[in-house]
Amino acid sequence: MNLAVTDRILLFFFHELQNYFTLAGRTFVRIFRRPFYYRESIIQFDKLGFSSLFICILTGLFSGMVMALQSLIQLKPFAATSYVGGMVAVTMVKELGPVLAALMVTGRVGSAITAELGTMVVTEQVDAMRVEGTDIIKRLVVPRFKAMLLALPLLTIVTDIVSIFGGYIMSAGYNINPVMYISGLPQFMVFQDLIEGVVKPVVFGAIIAVTGCYAGLNTKGGAEGVGAAAKKAVVLSSVLILVSDFFIAKIFIVFRG
C-alpha cells in the first residue's frame, strides 16, 4: 500500500514538473512570434512593475539600514568602520537585493497573476478564448512573462540603490562621511558582482511569471480553488527563488575560479 501511494505521488510530481517546463518552454518560444500584444505587455508591466515600486523601496531602505547597523557593530572593535559601505553594497547587490525584491514581488505579483488567471479559468473565459482559436499562452502568459523579465531587474536595481543609501543614513551616525562610505564600494565589489546582481532577478522574474501563470491556468474548484492556487504559487515561487539563487551563485563562483 505504501509503495502504491509513493508511486502515485512520484508520478504526479513528475507529471506536474513536465507540464511546468513545457509551459516555460512554449512561453519562451512564443516571445519571438507574432502577434506581440505590445499594449497588453505594457499594461502588465505597469501592473506588475510600477505597482511594486513602493514596497521594494521600503524593503531596500530598511534592509540597507539594518545591514549597515550590524556591520558597524562588528567592525567597530577593529576600527574598520570605513569598510561598511562596501560590505552593505556587495551583500545587497549580490544576494539580499535580488532575493528580497523577488520575494516581495512574489507575494504581491505572483498571487495576483494566479488569482487573475484562475478567475478567468473558473468563469470559463479561458475556454471561450480557446473556442475562438486564441493561443492562450501567447495571449495570457507571454505578456506577463515579458513584463516580469523587464520589471524585476529594474525593481532590484532600485532596491540596491536605496539599500546603499539606507546604509549611509545609518553610517552617518557613526561619523562616516560620504566620501569614506563610497570609497569602500570598489574595495569589495567587482564587475562580475554587478552582472550577478542583474542575472538573478531575470531568472527570478521568469520563475514568478511561469509559476503564477501555471498555477492560475490549472486552477480547479471555483472561488476556493483560486485562493488555494494563489497560495500554492507564492509558496512554490519562493522556494524556487531560494533554490535557484544558490545554484546561480555557485555557477558564478565556479566561473570566477
Structure confidence at residue 10 (pLDDT): 85
- Residue 215: pLDDT band by 50, 70, 90 thresholds? very high
Question: Could you give the CA distance from residue 46 to residue 90 in angstroms, rounded to a whole number?
Answer: 29
Above 60 in pLDDT, residue 217?
Answer: yes
Whether the per-residue pLDDT at 239 is higher than 90: the answer is yes
- For residue 93, pLDDT beyond 60: yes
In this structure, what are the phi and psi dihedrals at residue 173, rounded to the nearest 5 degrees?
-70, -10
Residue 78 has pLDDT above 90, yes or no: no
Q: Given the C-alpha cell 501563470, which residue does it identify? A: 213
pLDDT at 8 (0 to 100): 85
**Total number of domains in the chain:** 1
- The whole-number pLDDT of residue 144 equals 94
pLDDT of residue 26: 92
Arithmetic mean of pLDDT, 45-55: 88
CA distances from residue 161 to 31, 39, 69, 120, 166 in whole angstroms, order as listed: 30, 30, 17, 38, 9
pLDDT attached to residue 257: 61
Mean pLDDT computed over 148-171 = 93
Percentage of the chain lying above the pLDDT 90 cut? 47
Please report, as a single letter, which amino acid is at residue 226. Answer: V
Q: Give pLDDT, residue 4.
A: 76
Mean pLDDT on 184-206: 88
Expressed as residue numbers, the domain containing 192 is 2-256
Close Cβ partners of 189 (under 8 Å, ≥ 6 residues apart): 86, 89, 90, 93
Alpha-carbon distance 77 to 61, whole Å? Answer: 26
- 185 or 236, which is more confident? 236
Residue 69 and residue 173 in contact, taking contact as beta carbons nearer than 8 Å: no
Mean pLDDT of 223-232: 88
Cis ω before 35 (30° cut-off from 0)? yes
What pTM was estimated for this model as a whole?
0.91
Averaged pLDDT of the chain: 89
Nearest-5° Cα angle at 192, 191 to 195: 95
Mean pLDDT calculated for residue range 17-23: 91
For 30-41, write each residue's pLDDT tens digit: 998 888 888 988
